[in-house]
Copies of this chain bind each other. A is one copy, B any other.
Amino acid sequence: MSVIPERVFIREVGPRDGLQNESKILSTDDKVVWIDQLSETGLDYIEVSSFVSSKWIPPLADALQVFRKIRRVKGVTYAALVPNVKGLEQAFKADVDEVVIFLSASESHNHKNLNRSIKDSLNNCRDVCQRALSEGLSVRAYISTVFGCPYEGHIPFDKTMGIAQILLEGGVHEIAFADTIGVSTPRQVSKFLDLALKLVNSDRVSLHFHDTRGTGLANVLTGLEYGVFKFDSAIGGLGGCPYAPGAAGNITTEDLIYMLKGMDIRTDIDYEPLMESAMFIRDRFAERQLPSHALQSTCSTLS
């Protein structure tokens, strides 16, 4: 386990990927309080919201207000999902630090989700990326369904990496390879990284797991063993109704941090304020039990 990184960076995606998939809509004020809490935990990256049409994502319709009301802490990147140049204009108004673009490795999923081909999505991504870069913003990209598609099943990893290379050549600085429906196991992650890290340096790779089948942290462990040092996660394990197909929550930030701390891997994130922000969001979603193990275990003492 000699290649395990000494320092890991977390992209907190709860306010966007988490809330987007919850049936309950959090108030703007609650979002602002919560994100302000997150800014004080030592997290250096928060995906705050999305400028996708509010018609499609009602829980994030207040993206602009949220960005205007949150307190910016130095050293924290406040990012937003942007679907197209129109959304990018909103993101400029919101003074985001980083733009996040997205498409799918699966043609069927891309059509269902974005109503166009991967090729058209790549053209759109190029336009958004160029415009964002010209305004001095950095650009991150999601590739979804990397480890499996609800419509097509397995997607060849070289297809994903072909998309990744076009995005990186277009100026994207980091790609989140996403297990959107949470089907992967350590073996798939290992096979993917065998290919991916030959083509892309690990500093441009983030792994984005959903914990649909409980393999999320085992997959992270495999990533760590390959030297990957960036992971996406969400406070509380937010996201996805347990009864919506393919929509279970992200891996849980506080459980991930617990594991990393236990492995003596530095994150510079303080566990106590992180748990406070998790309890805040738990109380807001009291009607269902969030997947977070840390929230359910009464004793949060680190071993």
Contacts and interface: CB of A to CB of B under 8 A. Distances in A.
A186 B259 contact: yes
Interface stretch (A64-72, A83-91, A157-165, A216-224): A216-224
Interface stretch (A11-19, A122-130, A147-155, A275-283): A147-155
A182 B293 CA distance: 10
A182 B197 CA distance: 33
Contacts of A185: 258-259, 261-263, 303
Contacts of A148: 303
A184 B214 contact: no
Given A296-B242, A297-B212, A263 B154 contact: no
A174 interface: no
A215 interface: yes
Interface string A201-228: 0000000000111110110111000000
Interface residues of A, number: 49
Contacts of A292: 214
Contacts of A217: 214-215, 217-218
B222 A255 contact: no
A263 B293 contact: no
Interface stretch (A35-43, A47-55, A95-103, A244-252): A244-252
Shortest 6 CB-CB contacts between residues of A and residues of B: A185-B262, A183-B303, A214-B293, A214-B255, A187-B263, A217-B218
A128 to B, nearest CB: 31
Given A211-B293, A214-B217, A294-B214, A262 B303 contact: no
A190 interface: yes
A1 interface: yes
A30 B295 CA distance: 31
Contacts of A222: 221
A186 B214 CA distance: 16
Nearest to A153: B303
A258 B218 contact: no
Contact of A258 (B213, B243, B303): B213
